[in-house]
Amino acid sequence: MSAAGFLKKAYTIAWKDLSAELRAKEMINSMALFSLLVLLVFSFSFGPIFRNVDQFGSAALWVAITFAGMLGLSKSFLNEAVTGGLHGLMICPVDRSAIYVGKVISNSLLVFALEAFTVPLFVIFFDVPGVPPTLLAVLLLGTFGFVAVGTALSAVAVRTRARELFLPVLLFPLTVPVILGGVSATKTLLGGGGFADVADWVKLLVMYDLILFTASIATFDYIVEE
């Protein structure tokens, strides 16, 4: 199969997910509200006392994004399993890894949309002087790693008896390097650091993203197989 054909199939699957989501707006609404709540709680408890955004802001931002992202990820395969959509996907004449890549694309876009909503709120509530473009790059890298692992584990968690409740148990420890790297890099960037100061963290993020994305592509076949 050619690479273009593979990507086209993945894109089709991603589009299927996104159009369903655009119609129902089931996930993005609850994700956005949840991230707003997290930011409010953080801002309420730390905001008035500590104005230094780099100390608490980075943690608040990442908690808001990862917790809200978790909501979306846990639904990603649950809906398919409940409605029987997974069986439909399985009999599609596509490579199983195309299903995975498609889901990663749609989930990533969903979380990017969430970030487009969360980051401006973050700027408002935490009185952030400015968002450097490097910070956006760090957010994209961290999100991609989080979603890449989360999508694979979402398919694993759906098979367990506890279903989506099992996802955080598997996902959070495994994405600690991503969250750690993201939080630390954000902290430095908000404190006025440049790209050179966070280069090590960015390297870690890229490495981890690549390793887990390829490992997930290689093993996804086995997760969904009956």
Partner 1 sequence: MSNPLHAIRKAKLFIVHHDWTQIAAAALILLSIYLAFIWAPPIYAPMTSTFEEGGSYFASGKEEFTVGDQTLTGPRNIHVTSIAETGTAYVVTGELDDGRVAEMVIQKADVENVREQQGSGSDISSLVVTHNIFQGESWRIFYFHVGISWVMALAFFHTFVASIAYLRTERERWDVVANAAAEVGFLMATLVLVTGAIWAKPAWGTWWDWDPRLTTSLVLWLIYGGYLALRGEGMERQAAVFGVLAFASVPITFISIRLWRTVHPVAIESSGANIGTNILIAMLVALLAMSFLFIHVMSLRVKLGLAEKKVKEKKRSIRR
User: Can you tell me the distance from the alpha carbon of 181 to that of 142, in angstroms, rounded to the nearest whole number?
Assistant: 8
In whole angstroms, the minimum distance from the beta carbon of 36 to partner 1 comes to 28
| Residue closer to partner 1, measured from CB, 40 or 180 | 180
Alpha-carbon span 56 to 216, nearest angstrom: 33
Identity of the residue, 125 or 220, whose beta carbon is nearer to partner 1 in the bound complex: 220
Tell me the C-alpha to C-alpha distance, in Å, between residue 207 and each of 80, 105, 153, 201, 219: 31, 19, 19, 10, 18
- Both tokens of 69, joined, read 């992202």
- Name the DSSP letter for residue 94: S
* Distance separating alpha carbons of residues 206 and 202, to the nearest angstrom: 6
Q: Which residues bind partner 1 (CB under 8 A)?
A: 149, 152-153, 156, 159-161, 166, 169-170, 172-174, 176-177, 180, 200, 204, 208, 211-212, 215-216, 219-220, 222-223, 225
Q: Per the structure block, which two tokens stand in for 153?
A: 């584990």
Q: In the complex, what is the shortest distance from the CB of residue 26 to partner 1, in angstroms, rounded to a whole number?
A: 26
Around Cβ 24, how many Cβ atoms within 10 Å?
A: 11
Nearer to partner 1, 37 or 210 (CB): 210
Return the number of the residue (105 or 171) whose C-beta is nearest partner 1: 171
CA–CA gap between residue 28 and residue 156 (Å, rounded): 22
Nearest-angstrom CA–CA distance, 18 and 54: 34
Q: Which CB, 125 or 208, lies closer to partner 1?
A: 208
Structure tokens, 161: 């008896």
Q: How far is the CB of 223 from partner 1 (least distance, A)?
A: 5
Longest dimension (CA), the chain: 58
Closest approach of partner 1 to the CB of residue 76, in Å: 16
Task: Choose between 26 and 200: whose C-beta lies nearer to partner 1.
Answer: 200
Q: State in angstroms the smallest separation of the CB of 215 from partner 1.
A: 6
Neighbours of 120 (CB within 10 A): 12
Min dist CB 166 to partner 1, Å, is 7
